[in-house]
Amino acid sequence: MSELNENKNKSGKSMAIATVLVMIGLMLSKGTGFVRELLVGVKYHQDLYRDSYSLAFLFPDFFFNLLIGGSIQAAITPSLAARINDGKEKEGIREVSIFISVFSVLMAIVCTLGFIFSKQLFGFYAPSNATPEMIELASHAARPLFIQIFFMMLAALSIGILNAYKRFGSTSFGPTIYNICVLLSIVIFAGDSQFKLTLCMVGIMGAALIYFLFQFIVGFDKLKLFRFIFKPGNLGFRRLVRRAIPILISASIVQINTITLNRFAMQMEQGTNYALRNAITVWQLPYGIFAVAVGNVMLPSLAGLYSSKKYKEASELLSSRLRTALFMTIPSAAFLFLMSSETIRAFFKWNASYTDDNVQKGAIILSGFAVAIIAQTGVLMFNQAFYAIGKTRSPLFAGLVSMFTNPLFCLIFVRLVGAGPISMSLAYSLSSCIQLGILIWLYCSDKRLAPRKILGFLGKSLICVVTMVLVLIILNNYIPDYDRKLIQLVILAVKGVAAVVVYFSTACLIRMDEALYWIRRLTSRFIRKTDED
C-alpha cells in the first residue's frame, strides 16, 4: 500500500513539474506571439492592411485544423501513449508512421489547391459589402500561408509524438522559436503595400520551416524511428482514422466559428476585423498558458489510466486537473472583463495610427469574451478527457452544436439587437457555454469517470473573485489614467499583481486545495534542501 502511495506521489510530482515546464514554454510562446500581434499594429498603419493581414490566416488555419490539428489529440498522442503503456511500442510506431505518411500527401495536395485558388476562395467567402481591395490583399497574402501549414503540420505531428513519450521539455519551446522568427519577418518586411504584405507572409512561411526543423532536431532520437509508409489499407491506420475523423471535424469547427465571427466583422466598419483579432489574442493568453498546459500534460497520463482500467484514478486525475486549470483562468477572465479598455490601450496603442476608436472596439469585444475564457477551459479539459478514452464523437457533437449556435447568436445580436462589435464575442461565449454543458452531460453519464468536488471549488472561487474585483474597483477609482505608455504599462502591471495577490491570499484563507498545493510543493522543497544542508 505504501509503495502504491509512493508511486502515486511520484507520478503527481512528475506531472506537476511537466505542467510547470509546459506552462513556461507557453508563457514564452504566448508572450512572443502577443508581441507579434502588437507589431502588426505598429508596422501596418492603415486599417485596410491590418484587416487583410488578419483575414489572410483564416483559410490556411481552417485547412490545417480540418486535416491535422485535431488528429494529434484524437489519435496520435493517446493511441501511441496507450501502445507504449501496453508494451506494444513498435506497433504504435508503425501505425503512426502510416498515419503521418497518408496525411502528409493529402496536406500537400490541399496546400497546392489552396495556393492556386486562394482568390476564388476569399471571393466566395466575403460578404457583398466587402471591398474588392481587401479581398485582393487577403487572397495574395494567404498563398504563402498555404505552404506554411505543411511545415506547421510536420512540427505539430512531431510534438504529438514526443508528448506521447512525455517528452514535454522537448516540445515546450518550439512555438517560441517560431514566434521569434515571425517577429523578425514582420519587423523586416511588413508595410502598407501588397508587395510588403505578401513578402511578410513569405517570411512567416520560412518561420514554420525553422519551427519544424527545431522540433525534429530536439526530438531526433524518437522521431528517427518513424518512416514514410504509404499503406492506407492498414488496419491500424484505419483504426486511427476512425478515431481521428470526428475530432478532425471538431478541430475545424473552432476555425469555422472564427471564420463566422470575421465574416460578421467584415460587415461592420473598417478596423473591426483587426480589433477582433486583438481581443482574441488577449483572451487566449490565459487560456493558452494555463488551460492548454494542464490539458496537454494530462492527456497521455489519462489515456494510460483508462487503458489500464483504473477508472477511479482517471476520475481523480481529471478532477484535480480541471480544478487546477479553472483556478488559473477564472480570475484571468474577471480581470480582463473589468480591465478590458486599459488592457487593449496599454498593449496595442503605441502610435497615433491606433486610434481611441480602435481601443474602444477591441475593449468591447474583449469584455464579451470573458465568459468564453472559463467555458473554453472546461471544453478543452473535457475534450482531452474524451480523446483519452477514445470517445471522439462526443466532442464532435458538441462542436457541431456550437457551429450552428454561433452564427445564430451573431445574427440575433447584430441584426435584431444591434449590439455592434460585442455581438461576435457574446455569441461565441454563449455558444461555448452550450458546448460545455453538452460535454459535461455526456461525459458524466459514466459515473466511474465523472469529475468530483467541482461545485464546492466553484463556490470558493466565486468568493475569491468577488474579493479580487472589489479591490480592483477601489484601485480604478483612486488611480487616474495616464497618456504615457510606460506609466500605462506599470499601472496595469500593478493592478495585475494586486489581483493575483488578493485572489491567491483569499484562496489560502479559505483553504482551497489548489492554492495550498503549490505552497506545500514550495515549502517541502525548501525544507528538504535545508535538511540536506
Query: Widest CA span of the chain, in angstroms?
Result: 73
Judge if 334 and 279 occupy the same domain: yes
- Select from 436, 452, 468 the last residue of a domain: 452
As a whole number of angstroms, the distance between CA 21 and CA 368 comes to: 31
Pseudo-torsion of CA 329, 330, 333, 338, nearest 10°?
A: -140
At 526, the pLDDT band (50, 70, 90 cuts) reads very low
pLDDT at site 22:
57
pLDDT at site 82:
74
Per-residue b or e along 366-386, where b marks 16 or more CB atoms closer than 10 Å to that residue's CB: bbbbbbbbbbbbbbbbbbbbb
Amino acid, res. 1? M
Q: What is the pLDDT of residues 223-258, one digit of tens each?
A: 888 888 888 888 877 877 777 777 677 777 877 888
Judge if 420 and 527 occupy the same domain: no
DSSP label at 191?
-
| CA nearest to 514, candidates 16, 25, 4, 7 | 16
- Select from 452, 477, 497 the last residue of a domain: 452
At 533, the pLDDT band (50, 70, 90 cuts) reads very low
Judge if 220 and 281 occupy the same domain: yes
- Which residues lie closer than 8 Å to 447 by C-beta, 6 or more apart? none
Whether 19 has a pLDDT exceeding 80, the answer reads no
Mean pLDDT of the chain: 82
Whether 384 has a pLDDT exceeding 90, the answer reads no
For the chain, give the number of residues. 533
Judge if 414 and 469 occupy the same domain: no
Whether 502 has a pLDDT exceeding 90, the answer reads yes
Please report the sign of the dihedral spanned by the C-alpha atoms of residue 237, residue 398, residue 276, residue 180. Answer: negative
pLDDT at site 172:
67
As a whole number of angstroms, the distance between CA 373 and CA 284 comes to: 7
Q: What is the pLDDT of residues 465-496, one digit of tens each?
A: 999 999 999 998 888 877 787 888 899 999 99
pLDDT at site 473:
93
pLDDT at site 448:
87
pLDDT at site 20:
59
Which cell numbers in the block locate residue 219?
A: 526530438
Which cell numbers in the block locate residue 463?
A: 468568493
pLDDT at site 5:
47
pLDDT at site 363:
93
Residue pair 77/299 in contact (Cβ under 8 Å)? The answer is: yes
SS3 78: helix
- The boundaries of the domain holding residue 99 are 2-452
- Is the pLDDT higher at 165 or at 375? 375
SS3 419: coil
Whether 187 has a pLDDT exceeding 50, the answer reads yes
| CA nearest to 400, candidates 252, 225, 197, 244 | 252
Domain count, the chain: 2
Judge if 317 and 215 occupy the same domain: yes
Return the minimum-mean-pLDDT range out of 185-189, 258-262, 351-355, 506-510.
Answer: 351-355
Dihedral pair phi/psi, residue 512, rounded to 5°: -75, 130
Judge if 162 and 284 occupy the same domain: yes
SS3 110: helix
pLDDT at site 3:
44
Whether 73 has a pLDDT exceeding 60, the answer reads no
Judge if 257 and 323 occupy the same domain: yes
Which cell numbers in the block locate residue 293?
A: 498546459
Residue given cell 466559428 in the structure block: 257
At 109, the pLDDT band (50, 70, 90 cuts) reads very high
Residue pair 55/122 in contact (Cβ under 8 Å)? The answer is: yes
- Is the pLDDT higher at 373 or at 309? 373
Judge if 440 and 459 occupy the same domain: no
Judge if 469 and 479 occupy the same domain: yes
Please report the sign of the dihedral spanned by the C-alpha atoms of residue 518, residue 519, residue 522, residue 527. Answer: negative
Judge if 426 and 509 occupy the same domain: no
| CA nearest to 427, candidates 368, 470, 479, 377 | 368
- Is the pLDDT higher at 192 or at 330? 330
As a whole number of angstroms, the distance between CA 343 and CA 348 comes to: 8
Dihedral pair phi/psi, residue 455, rounded to 5°: -65, -45
Whether 260 has a pLDDT exceeding 50, the answer reads yes
Judge if 447 and 473 occupy the same domain: no
Please report the sign of the dihedral spanned by the C-alpha atoms of residue 306, residue 308, residue 309, residue 311. Answer: negative
What does the DSSP assignment read for 262-308? HHHHHTSSTTHHHHHHHHHHHHHHHIIIIIHHHHHHHHHHHHHHHHT
As a whole number of angstroms, the distance between CA 96 and CA 240 comes to: 8
Residue pair 10/320 in contact (Cβ under 8 Å)? The answer is: no
Half-sphere exposure of 435 (CA within 13 A, CB side): 34
As a whole number of angstroms, the distance between CA 507 and CA 486 comes to: 32
Q: What is the pLDDT of residues 307-354, one digit of tens each?
A: 788 888 888 889 988 998 999 899 999 999 999 999 999 888 887 778
* Percentage of the chain modeled with pLDDT above 70: 86
As a whole number of angstroms, the distance between CA 400 and CA 476 comes to: 41
Whether 525 has a pLDDT exceeding 50, the answer reads no
- Which residues lie closer than 8 Å to 40 by C-beta, 6 or more apart? 50, 53, 186, 190, 274
Which cell numbers in the block locate residue 418?
A: 444591434
As a whole number of angstroms, the distance between CA 530 and CA 441 comes to: 48
At 27, the pLDDT band (50, 70, 90 cuts) reads low
Average pLDDT on 407-416 reads: 91
- Select from 410, 437, 452 the last residue of a domain: 452
Average pLDDT on 3-27 reads: 53
Judge if 386 and 505 occupy the same domain: no
Whether 527 has a pLDDT exceeding 60, the answer reads no
pLDDT at site 93:
83
